[in-house]
Structure 1
């Protein structure tokens, strides 16, 4: 997908018989993602904070063991938060009272084999994880995809500049400057919920495609 618009500008000094034209062009390139990121963790409750945290640690140890058993490398496992806070009972016209404590532990993980995402999700829940968010999909080495989008955007800008020049009875002499922006459009993952049956099928996940975009502002010198 590409898009462009143009305007004349007052920019770098050029020959007196020249006109400067600024063209903005945008293009996209898509690839199937090769990395899935998700967060998972455990929430536990107990009458006191120590008990809540101990129970959480025991359950979370099983979750982390399941993550490692699924083949997730240590560099792709990162704790994102550990929290303990009281739970209150609110009654009308009365001061709130503490009824217990809740502990939570959350880790972020990256799955580098997209085909295993469903199995990883199932392993997390089976090991005791009661919080799962994601997955979100990305491209691990995106530069080649960005370059494809950049080339398409530049071609779009050049074609648009040529069109304007010809309409004015001029020609494109040279490119004066190029500036670049960028963008990222994550795919919308689809997780289909279904009851577990005797076959123990893994959770279906559809990674879709990841779209990267390039935005260029190109200044052309036009003349006869």
Structure 2
């Protein structure tokens, strides 16, 4: 007799594991499923890492009476910001233009059509800092050079794969321990693993960190990396006897 113990919100139908021909030809049924119990376990593995990569979105917003003047002023300011990043040691590959924008500014009056009063230009770049300890100093330098729009930083890992593999290994161990527990409680033993599937989860990091860039050297911006959780979730099916 085949029994099934389900410890999961979702599970594959048991009949999918038994060939259709087995209903008319019992001898063709896999011997391992005779008098067996199926157990589905969902387990989450976890590990922690200190972030080694900071990402910010920084830019310049300028306004002028004409579109051309707004773009010219913006281009000059952004050139100074980019130069400051490079002087701080940020590699070219870690600086990427994210958005460039130009929009008219309007004055509104009751019962009158809007009137264009000027133009606003914006240019933003995404910047990665591979030395988080220096990111606060770099942010302050950006403000001094004219960056007036900064979002971030977000903190993460430059190479998350080793941490993810550690979390996956931990998830398998947790699943096995839970299966052993249920097997003992039911007077059975874990014979083997039948299947393993990994739940695709949104990345845990990088995590957003609120910051404020200041120009005063006596009150420099500080970025504290802390620790980051890396998780992996697995669905594991065990055969118990």
**TM-score with structure 2 setting the length:** 0.84
Unaligned runs of 5+ in 1: none
Q: Per the alignment, in what secondary structure is the counterpart of residue 221 of structure 2?
A: coil
Matched, 1:184 2:216: no
Q: How many matched pairs?
A: 217
Alpha-carbon distance in 2 for matches of 1:90, 1:57: 29
Q: Match for 1:65 among 83, 90, 96?
A: 83
Considering only aligned residues, what root-mean-square deviation do their CA atoms show, in Å?
Answer: 1.9
Matched, 1:205 2:210: no
Provide closer, same or farther for how the CA distance between residues 77 and 195 of structure 1 changes in structure 2, counting only shifts above 3 A: closer
What is residue 144 of structure 1 aligned with on the other side? 162
Q: 1:4-153 counterparts in 2 under 5 A?
A: 6-7=7-8, 10=14, 11-13=16-18, 14-153=32-171
Q: Per the alignment, in what secondary structure is the counterpart of residue 191 of structure 1?
A: coil
Q: Is the 8 A contact 1:37 1:108 kept in 2?
A: yes
Q: 1:150-169 counterparts in 2 under 5 A?
A: 150-169=168-187
Q: Is the 8 A contact 2:90 2:129 kept in 1?
A: yes
Flag the structure with larger Rg: 2
Q: Per the alignment, in what secondary structure is the counterpart of residue 33 of structure 2?
A: coil
Report the more deviating stretch, 130-139 or 175-184: 175-184
Alpha-carbon distance in 1 for matches of 2:179, 2:117: 70
Report the more deviating stretch, 182-191 or 98-107: 182-191
Q: Deviations over 1:97-137 (max 9, x none)?
A: 10100000000000000110111101100111111110000
Unaligned runs of 5+ in 2: 1-5, 19-31
Structure 1 ranges of 4+ moved more than 6 A: 192-195
Bigger share in strand: 1
Bigger share in helix: 2
Q: Is the 8 A contact 1:189 1:207 kept in 2?
A: no
Provide closer, same or farther for how the CA distance between residues 190 and 103 of structure 1 changes in structure 2, counting only shifts above 3 A: closer
Provide closer, same or farther for how the CA distance between residues 29 and 124 of structure 1 changes in structure 2, counting only shifts above 3 A: same
Q: Is the 8 A contact 2:44 2:233 kept in 1?
A: yes
**Cα distance, 1:201 vs. partner?**
4.8
**TM-score with structure 1 setting the length:** 0.90
